[in-house]
Amino acid sequence: MATAVTTDVGQTPQVRPTRSRRRRRRGRPNWLGGLAGWLWLVIVLVPIYWIVITSFKTQANYYAMNPLKPSTSPTIDNYRMVIESDFATYFINSVVVTVGSIIPAVLISFMAAFAIVRSSGGFMKSVNGLFLMGLAIPVQATIIPVYLIIIRLKLYDSLLAIILPSIAFAIPLSVLVLANFIRDVPKELFESMRVDGASEWVTLWRLAFPLTRPALVTVSIYNGLAVWNGFLLPLILTQSPSRRTLPLALWTFQGQYGVNVPAVLASVVLTTLPILILYAVGRRQLLSGLTAGFSK
């Protein structure tokens, strides 16, 4: 590939030998990219804008007025209604499931990543290969046996039923990303830990953990988002309303109040709010983590 580029660039002067110095100015606007960027912004923002303003309208108001104009007398009744229909329960369920899956998932993935980086044995290579293969397994395809396992463990319709498979499905990507980061830790540091007589277990927590903390945070956020937004596992592994997580609650809420568009949209906003707050706080962590995992 590198050669292809070199020849390409090398050929350019033969194609156009005369035009040389004039275009050295940098920062010429990228019209096509800019156009795509702004167009995309409109496509992203119009629905979001509509969702937010509509959620503050009364139902009567909603039918009567231009849907793209914000209400002159905004109401929070829709939000009150959503909160009164057990929103707190669903919210707590989502928090329990997300935190309960992500902390163990990231910790055991971190340990596994450390083991993969620090050992050169063939066994660890095949373990790594197994995790990499896991990246290609569609979660949906394994859901029937997972359902069977959960029933046999007598965990059906519990939050633990969602947590256990969520941990497993978070492992492959976490191991991949964390192993990449642990590889970046200078070998000399590992060596000096060893000279000081530290065991691998101590090295793991005293050296690798602090140095890869940013990666740990990003992996946690990334997987946390996936679990928080997860729909299939709660749909299949729980049934009683008291075990619903937010995405599932959203779906049933639309089933019940489908005609009341403002209320449905208020529920959408409300379930997204915690993530948006998190995004505002840790945007850099989140976005850099995503690229670290894939373009590296």
193-252 residues near another protein, rule: CB under 8 A: 194, 199-201, 204, 225, 228-232, 235-236, 246-248, 250-251
CA 170-172-173 angle, to 5 degrees, is 75
CA distance 19 to 100: 62
**Residue 145 sits in the site that holds another protein (CB under 8 A):** yes
- Of the listed pieces 20-28, 77-85, 211-219, which binds another protein according to CB under 8 A? 20-28
Integer Cα distance of 57 and 81 in angstroms: 13
131 lines the binding site for another protein (CB under 8 A): yes
- In whole angstroms, the minimum distance from the beta carbon of 269 to another protein comes to 9
Q: How far apart are CA 157 and CA 235, in angstroms?
A: 10
Give yes or no for residue 168 binding another protein (CB under 8 A): yes
Q: Does 16 bind another protein (CB under 8 A)?
A: yes
Shortest spacing between CB 66 and another protein, in angstroms: 7
Euclidean distance between CA atoms 85 and 92, whole angstroms? 14
The sign of the torsion formed by the CA atoms of 253, 255, 260, 266 equals positive
One residue of 53, 102, 116, 193 binding another protein per CB under 8 A: 116
Q: What is the DSSP letter of 136?
A: T
Q: What is the DSSP letter of 71?
A: P
Does 120 engage in binding with another protein (CB under 8 A)? yes
Least separation in angstroms between residue 218's CB and another protein is 12
**Is residue 74 close enough to count as binding another protein by CB under 8 A?**
no
Choosing from 36, 76, 92, 281, the residue that interacts with another protein (CB under 8 A) is 36
The two structure tokens encoding residue 155: 């965990």
Q: Which is nearer to another protein, 14 or 73 (CB)?
A: 14
Residue among 164, 190, 186, 176 nearest 127 (CA): 176
Per DSSP, the residues of 73-127 read S---HHHHHHIIIIIHHHHHHHHHHHHHHHHHHHHHHHHHHHHHHH---HHHHHH
Buried b (16+ CB within 10 A) or exposed e, 193-211: beeeebeeeebbeebbeee
Smallest distance from another protein to CB 231, Å: 4
Q: Which residue has the tokens 């997860």?
A: 230
Q: Is 185 in the site for another protein (CB under 8 A)?
A: no
Among 82, 97, 115, 182, interactor with another protein by CB under 8 A: 115
The nearer residue to another protein, 64 or 73, going by C-beta atoms, is: 64
**Least distance between another protein and beta carbon 70 (Å):** 13
Decide if residue 156 touches another protein (CB under 8 A): no
Site membership for another protein, residue 5 (CB under 8 A): yes
Determine if 103 is a binding residue for another protein (CB under 8 A). Answer: no
State yes or no: residue 45 binds another protein (CB under 8 A).
yes
* 49 touches another protein by CB under 8 A: no
